Amino acid sequence: MKLGRDFSETILSRIVTVVAVLSILFVIQIAFGISSANKTKALAGINKEISLQRMRVLLLSHHYRQYLEVGEKKPYRRYILLQEADNYDNFLDKISFLAKLYLSDDDIEIVSTLKHLWKSNMYPLILKYNEKNAEQYYLSYVKFAPQSASFLDVLAKKFERRLDIEIQNEINNLLFFLGTELTFIIWIIYFFNSKIAKPIRNLTILTRKFSGDGFYKTSNIPTSRELRELSQAFNDMTEKVNTRTSELENKASKDPLTGLYNRRAFEELFATRIEVDGHKELSLMLIDIDYFKKINDVYGHQIGDEVLKETASIISSIFRENDIFCRYGGEEFIVALFDQDVRRSRVVAERVRLVIEDTDIKAGNDTIKLTVSIGIAHIKNKIESLEKTISIADNELYRAKNSGRNKVCMNI
């Protein structure tokens, strides 16, 4: 009786210890996963905010350039300019704080330079804004915009690099904890076999001897079952690793709002296609939603998000699987059509324009009519760098905007 009771207490104690250790490992893994996921989500949000601010600066610069061309000196009231200045000032303060959290001291200099550029060149003009220096303000803003956009591009890449690091850390942590759990499971199997199963067999022998039977036959079933369980556990963990890795890769390459590829994934896919396949003909489209800022300002960002998602859905339904399309930033989308002639490229672009023109978005009691402007860079024989091709398409997009919007312009 005493032998059986002591043995039962030993088994119970060891089981409790094993369960406690597994619980601690599980809690630590969840804590690391939540922390990494929060960092990844925060960095993705920062990148989105920087991209939106860049588009805002360039869009305002475009508007001010138009005002200068027509001699307009007072399109906005003073309080609107002051509000715009406060928004940009708050953005710089926020990004400065986030840079201190996520970036190195050298990278923080980029934010400091951008703040100095703003404070020294633009802010004084806004504070003393009146009719006489309105033209000076617009001219300064037009000169300031490319510098600001350039700094914001560099800053976005810094945060994007940090996002890559966080995702890699998340994968490493996942692999580490899964490896630790696998090792511990192997140890548990060995532990139970040597410290529990063997004593049980010995206790059975002792009991049978006491009963006078004297018959004993060993069985390999427990060992086989443990090996099967180990194999199943390994397969389950392999499946978890593959699933989690796939989720992380998808998170890093997709735009969270529209589900399309993001800018970085587009650039990588484009480079791979050119390097591996090679193409004699390419059409690169820049698709920009007309008056998107006005939609956001009037109906709010929730309706603005619906507009972006609907536009992305239309683009996904029209283009081929062979084409590469992504949300390039803000309200701008980019599409690469490979081995497509000029006529076919224009036909597809016009189809996109017409389908979007026929699309209505409900905003309460109002109905929003959507239109897009499309710029196409068509390259034959020798495909230049992606940057140069995008620049050509951007010029055509600018021409479509200036000629009344809701149009398709091509460099041929």
Q: What residues are labeled active site? A: 331
Contact 372, 400 (CB under 8 A): no
Selection from 33, 261, 264 nearest residue 166 by Cα: 33
Tokens for 411, please give them.
């460099």
Residue 242's identity, in one-letter code, is: N
Selection from 37, 311, 70 nearest residue 174 by Cα: 37
* Residue linked to tokens 């002051």: 82
What is the rounded distance in angstroms from the CA atom of residue 190 to the CA atom of residue 293?
A: 65
Contact 375, 285 (CB under 8 A): yes
Tokens for 107, please give them.
């990278």
Tokens for 16, please give them.
């409790």
Contact 234, 182 (CB under 8 A): yes
Q: How far are the Cα atoms of 86, 134, 137, 256 from residue 122, in angstroms, in the given order?
A: 12, 12, 7, 34
Selection from 55, 46, 84, 61 nearest residue 288 by Cα: 55
Question: CA Rg, the chain, in Å?
Answer: 31
Contact 107, 26 (CB under 8 A): no
* Residue linked to tokens 């920087």: 50
For 109, other C-beta atoms within 10 Å of its C-beta total 12
